[in-house]
Amino acid sequence: MKAEGEVVMSWGLFNRLSRIIRPETGKTVMLAIDHGYFLGPTTGLEVPSKTIGPIAPYADALMATRGILRTSISPYGSPPVVLRVSGGNSIIGEELSNEGITTSIEDALRLNAAAVAMSIYVGSPYEHQTLMNLSSLVNEAERYSVPVLAVTAVGRDMKRDARYLALCCRIAAELGAHMVKTYHCEGFEEVVGSCPVPIVVAGGKKLPEKKALELTSDAIKDGAVGVDMGRNIFQSDDPVNMIQAVGAVVHHNVPVAEAYKMLQEAKKQKSSEKK
């Protein structure tokens, strides 16, 4: 018997989600390294194995495509994987929102994915197609108790405000996504409050490190369960210490000023060791 409002999920789904969201803190630091699926060799990820290897041990989960997993990430002791399974578009293509599902659920299982992820483009020319992709993926993934993370990708002309992002997140949850990834914005509490599944926040374009830590802290204060951060970690001049600073804010509520100081001190220590 389930209490009213209690989410009905299988043991397998809960178990997989608990590999991504740390049960002891209820939070997660996901490392997003899936950019190449439509951006090609993104700055910092030109040779993925070089960048990812040293940072991966500090991530609670990696968000990547199967191509990068197979070629660039050691299967031994890798963090759980949230497998990007949508694509078929490119940054120079005619229409960014024209995505399909690229990877079968069987392949996700062969790769031991903890979850699968795909983008929806609400308000874009291929809105319907991407929403139906999500619905079909949830149908497939639920057969094997694999959670689905929906990424609320934003078309070139879309405004990232609370009204729009709340619409995207709620639609994703209504269609069955078990987690949603979106952008932080002013009034983000409203986005979280009207989305019945956990939300992780994307980092977006590279910011000064203190700003990226502020974004992280604001997202957590406003109710996100964590971040799914890419460029603000792997484009940092010290990605290993940056991801640990982000982790301190996410998991231990370390104030931004303190996390930033820790980062600066770790950098100093590193450079004095090099001399």
Residues with a catalytic annotation lie at 181
CB of 15 to ligand R5P, least distance (A): 24
* Nearest distance, CB of residue 178 and ligand R5P, angstroms: 16
Q: How, if at all, do strands 28-32 and 226-229 pair?
A: parallel
Kindly list the distances between the CA atom of residue 38 and the CA atoms of 91, 92, 97, 99, in Å, as whole numbers in the listed order: 6, 9, 11, 10
Nearer CB in complex with ligand R5P: 6/236: 236
The CB-of-9 to ligand R5P minimum distance in angstroms stands at 24
Binding site for ligand R5P (CB under 6 A): 32, 34-35, 63, 119, 151, 153, 202-204, 228-232
Q: How far is the CB of 201 from ligand R5P (least distance, A)?
A: 9
7 vs 91 by CB, closer to ligand R5P: 91
Output 34 or 140, the one with its CB closest to ligand R5P.
34
User: Residue 109 is encoded by which pair of tokens?
Assistant: 């299982």
